[in-house]
């Protein structure tokens, strides 16, 4: 059973919760090519100070965290498409900036982050994100050395 959990740091109306849950069930069913009767959704709301995400500034601090318990066997493309559908649904329902929604997926990078990295020529595979940092550190580079460039360098 997929359990899709959404945590928000702002109040939502009862009718918005129902419409949102129905939309999420529809997205999951369509993207994963499955039925709807086994999909579980949890929607939790918190006070603004209870959840913090640095990228939430464009939304006035309002943010959403998503935890999707997805069974093995789903493709990376299905997971990515689902994550983007979650982000779009939250953005359109509550006016949250896309970058203020965090959707981790096992073995994946946050879609907004992976899009930004892809524009810089860095792949979406998590190994591609960690290897360049390790190479810089192995060379005695600035990564973690207190100063200098601390970003991720593209693989050559």
Enumerate the domain spans of the chain.
3-110
CA angle 40, 42, 44 (to 5 degrees): 175
Q: What is the pLDDT of residue 70?
A: 84
pTM value > 0.85: no
**Confidence at residue 125, expressed as pLDDT on a 0 to 100 scale:** 43
Ordered mean pLDDT values, 10 residues apiece, the chain (156 residues): 95 96 97 94 96 90 93 89 96 95 69 54 42 35 37 36
Which CATH superfamily hosts domain 3-110?
Macrophage Migration Inhibitory Factor (3.30.429.10)
**3 state SS of 136:** helix
Name all contacts of 47-52 with Cβ < 8 Å and 24+ positions apart. Answer: 47/9, 48/9, 48/10, 49/9, 50/9, 51/7, 51/8, 51/9, 52/9
């Amino acid at each position: 059973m997929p359990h899709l959990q959404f945590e928000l740091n702002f109040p939502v109306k009862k009718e918005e919760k129902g419409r949102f849950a129905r939309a999420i069930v529809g997205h999951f069913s369509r993207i994963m090519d499955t039925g709807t009767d086994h999909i579980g959704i949890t929607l939790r709301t918190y006070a603004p100070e209870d959840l913090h995400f640095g990228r939430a500034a464009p939304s006035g601090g309002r943010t959403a965290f998503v935890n999707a318990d997805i069974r093995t066997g789903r493709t990376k493309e299905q997971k990515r498409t689902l994550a983007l559908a979650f982000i779009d649904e939250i953005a359109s329902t509550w006016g949250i900036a896309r970058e203020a929604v965090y959707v981790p997926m096992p073995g994946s990078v946050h879609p907004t982050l992976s899009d930004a990295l892809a524009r810089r020529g860095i792949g979406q595979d998590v190994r591609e994100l960690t290897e360049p940092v390790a190479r810089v550190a192995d060379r005695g580079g600035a990564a973690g050395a207190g100063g200098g460039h601390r970003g991720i360098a593209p693989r050559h």
